[in-house]
Amino acid sequence: MSNGIVTTIGQRCKRCYSCIRECPARAIKVMNGQAVVMEERCISCGHCVKVCSQNAKKIKSDIEKVLSEIIPTGNAVAVLAPSFAASFPDNYSKVVTGLKKIGFSSVTEAAFGADLTAPLYEKYLESNEENVIISSPCPAVYNLIEKYYEQIVPNLARIVSPMIAMGRYIKKYFNPDSKVVFIGPCVAKKSEYADDEVADAIDAVLTFKELKEIFSKLNLNLDDLNDSPVDAPNAYMGKSFPLTGGLIKTANIPGDILQKEIIVVEGKNRVVEIMDEISNGNLNSKFVDILFCEGCISGPAIDSDLNFYSRREKVIGYINDNLTALDKNVWRSNLFNSRELNLTRNFNSRTQRRPMPSEEEINLILSRTNKYEESDELNCGSCGYPTCREYAVAIAKDLAEDEMCLPYLIDKLESAYQELKETQDQLHSAEKLASIGQLAAGVAHEINNPLGSIMLYASLLKKNAERYNHPEQTREDLNLIMDEANRCKGIVANLLNFARQGKLNIASIDIHELILSTLKEIKLNEEFSSINYSVSKLDEPLILEADPDQIKQVLLNLLINGSEAVESSSQKEIDVILTHDKNDLFVEISDSGCGIPDENLNKIFTPFFTTKKMGKGTGLGLAITYGIIKMHKGDIKVKSAIGKGTSFIIKLPLAQKANYGILN
């Protein structure tokens, strides 16, 4: 997996694709069914963590670093985000005490960092008249711009976030050896403090959820502690930073929305929309204040059961409680004394955009997932992408897999189920054939002996009847006995052929010549003289490795059946069509006969099933045919329409192994 800020816990991922649907950076790739976060594309916004119902997303933790490396130094300073009141709604006044209990020497407000940076925005606006200025305190926002909107990187205000401002302030005016830990609701802050541009300010970042884990790990119950205020320097309007428009209020920027000079944007979807507008040059506003979440009070790690409005109310209550106690003269003095603090930074393009695939590539991928027409594109969103086309683009960019498409998977499942059913039916038929074959072999052996005696004595009686001039009726009766005995002999021969088990006698066969020679024999039967037989010819002779006698038996059975089927038809035609591909030969034998009823199609290869008149058939011909084809590792299928005719399609592999399997 990845070593980034957000990673996937593989065994928990259940292919719901909610994270893909919510990721604004398309930074999640499905690999072998797992939604893997790509570190280089991730903007660390944490939205995938919020929407994952299986808790399959993991945020990189600084808990061990804080407890084992930072706190033991004795110089650990906590920088607390003002939204902590929303995460600890019932006891936020005790959080400072709790932090000192676990070893922090001082607990300060990140909001004072907001007070430090806010005036710079006012100056920025005064000095820049040409471009739209984009606020830069939110790392998820500038991560998105640096990676996917490189053309508007220059629009970012080159001002550090309140967190970085506070970190630099502490290390400059408290103690240069201080170890500063930011605590807040934001996952992206974990990527910000490791940024080379500002790596001098913060030593670790804890989310509110991680802080609660520490309290739990150390058996610290906040309700048992006393209230404590944060340590100086105290903040003024910077406390409103986590609320929508908080930067505007802190910087005292006039925000008349009707003048179209100031735009405040919050929420993932609106952020992407506004960036598209700025990139396309469609925005005439002077300043855009952007928060990736709906205010920091809705950060992915806020860890609060309160709804948006209740969280907002808690933060406003915290602000009101503390503003009245603030000494503004001391506050102004702190700001003045920090006038030489470096509060600037640079932003750089780290583009992760991948080339757009061609229309041909997109259409090829769509067709690969059974989308050939625009009407096939359901745009159901089950894959995590809003449209089938965007999904195809993601596949082309190596960000998605074919198997993410639910309709495609359902089609594959139905196809696999049908194949499984056909295989089960074939196996069932093979088992029945094997059982019947064993029975037939025994029956044939037992019948042959008495049948031989019947034929012998019937022959002797016939000769005596002719010698002594017995009545004509007697001779006709003896002829009938001989004919019926011969018919029994044929049935026994078929039974033995059906029950035959062993290796095939493989030889090279010119399939076209074999078909012609078989038809020549059939045409000798006067009953079939009025039938028109046609055989397609291949461009070049096709040599098949098979048992000539067995394949001829198959051809005889099918051609005789077809010939008998057209006896009562006005149009008497039998067509034999030969085709092949790289692996298989296909022989299609079609007749213009009466056709086979649907209810009989599944029975025709069953031994002893026949629709012919009594004495016309044994019901073993097609069963024997099926067995021979299966012994050759081939397949046989039938299609028929009442009144139009029947077609049998034989498939035989061209490259046969020396040792054939046995139908059992």
Please name the helix (run of DSSP H) or strand (run of DSSP E) that holds residue 463, with its range, or none: helix 406-467
Average pLDDT of 421-428? 75
Which amino acid is located at 179 in the chain? K
pLDDT number for residue 498: 59
Question: Do 387 and 427 fall within a single domain?
Answer: no
Question: In 569-604, which positions are buried (b, 16+ CB within 10 angstroms) versus exposed (e)?
Answer: eeebbbbbebebeeeebebbbbbbbbbbeeeeeeeb
* Type of residue numbered 547: D
Tell me the average pLDDT of the chain: 85
Considering the domain architecture, whether residues 173 and 308 belong to the same structural domain is answered as yes
pLDDT in tens, 269-282: 899 899 999 988 88
259-263, 484-488, 529-533: range with lowest mean pLDDT: 259-263
Domain extent, residue 553, equals 501-664
Same domain, residue pair 86 and 152 = yes
Res. 257 pLDDT band, cuts 50 70 90: very low
Residue 287 covered by a domain: yes
Residues 641 and 573 in one domain: yes
Query: For 497, how many CA atoms within 13 A lie in the half-sphere containing its CB?
Result: 21
Q: What is the pLDDT of residue 657?
A: 43
| CATH, residue 30 | 3.30.70.20
- Final residue belonging to a domain, choices 481, 500, 519: 500
Kindly indicate the confidence band of residue 459, based on its pLDDT and cuts at 50, 70 and 90. Answer: confident
Residues above pLDDT 90, as percent of the chain: 34
Whether residue 149 sits in one domain with residue 198 = yes
Q: Quick one: 11 and 123 in the same domain?
A: no
Q: Residue 543: inside a domain, yes or no?
A: yes
Q: What is the pTM of this model?
A: 0.65
Same domain, 197 and 261: yes
Residue 333 forms part of a structural domain:
yes
Last residue of a domain, one of 307, 337, 367: 337
Span 476-496, average pLDDT: 76
Nearest to 189 by CA among 271, 110, 89: 110
Assess contact for 471 and 464: CB atoms under 8 A.
no
Q: Does residue 68 carry a pLDDT above 80?
A: yes
Tell me: pLDDT of 224 over 90. Answer: yes
With 80 as the cut, is the pLDDT of residue 429 above it? no
The verdict on residue 347 lying in a domain is no
Answer whether residue 420 is part of any domain: yes
Identify the band that residue 655 occupies on the pLDDT scale cut at 50, 70 and 90: low
Given this model, what pLDDT does residue 33 score? 74
Least confident of 88-102, 129-143, 382-396: 382-396
Residues 175-202 as b or e (16 or more Cβ within 10 Å = b): eeebbbbbbbbbbbbbbbbebeebeebb
Boundary (domain end) residue, out of 500, 532, 553:
500
| Confidence at 259, pLDDT banded by 50, 70, 90 | low
In a domain, 380, yes or no: yes
For the chain, helix, strand, coil in percent to 5 are: 50, 15, 40
What is the spatial distance between Cα 402 and Cα 408, in angstroms, rounded to a whole number?
8
Residue 502 clears pLDDT 50, i.e. is over it: no
Q: Are residues 170 and 260 in the same domain?
A: yes
Rounded to an integer, the average pLDDT of 199-208 is 95
pLDDT (0 to 100) of residue 481: 86
Measure the CA–CA gap between 215 and 217, rounded to whole angstroms: 6
One domain, residues 13 and 74: no
Q: Within 45-185, where are the H helices?
A: 47-51, 63-65, 84-87, 95-101, 110-127, 139-148, 162-173
pLDDT of 449:
77
Residue range 330-381, pLDDT digits in tens: 999 999 999 999 999 999 999 988 888 888 888 888 888 888 888 887 887 7
Give the pLDDT score at 80. 95
Least confident range from 242-251, 485-494, 574-583: namely 485-494
Q: How many domains does the chain have?
A: 5
* Confidence band of 114 (pLDDT split at 50, 70, 90): very high
Which of 86-95, 178-187, 500-509 shows the lowest mean pLDDT across its residues? 500-509
Tell me, yes or no, whether 592 and 627 share the same domain.
Answer: yes
Of the given ranges (11-25, 172-186, 205-219), which has the lowest mean pLDDT? Answer: 11-25
Q: Is 546 helix (H, G, I), strand (E, B) or coil?
A: strand
Residues 146 and 284 both lie in one domain: yes
Which two structure tokens, joined as six digits, stand for 165? 């401002």
Query: What average pLDDT does this structure show over 467-486?
Result: 82
Taking the C-alpha atoms of residue 501 and residue 634, their distance in angstroms, rounded to an integer, is 17
DSSP state of 106: E
Do 246 and 207 share a domain, yes or no? Answer: yes
Q: Is residue 555 part of a domain?
A: yes
Residue 376 lies in a domain: yes
Element (H, E) at 649: strand 645-653
Q: Model confidence at 576, in pLDDT bands (50, 70, 90)? A: very high
Q: How many CB atoms lie within 10 A of CB 499?
A: 21
Alpha-carbon torsion, ordered 477, 483, 489, 494, to 10 deg: -140
Phi and psi dihedrals of 168, rounded to 5?
-65, -40
Give the pLDDT of residue 659.
40
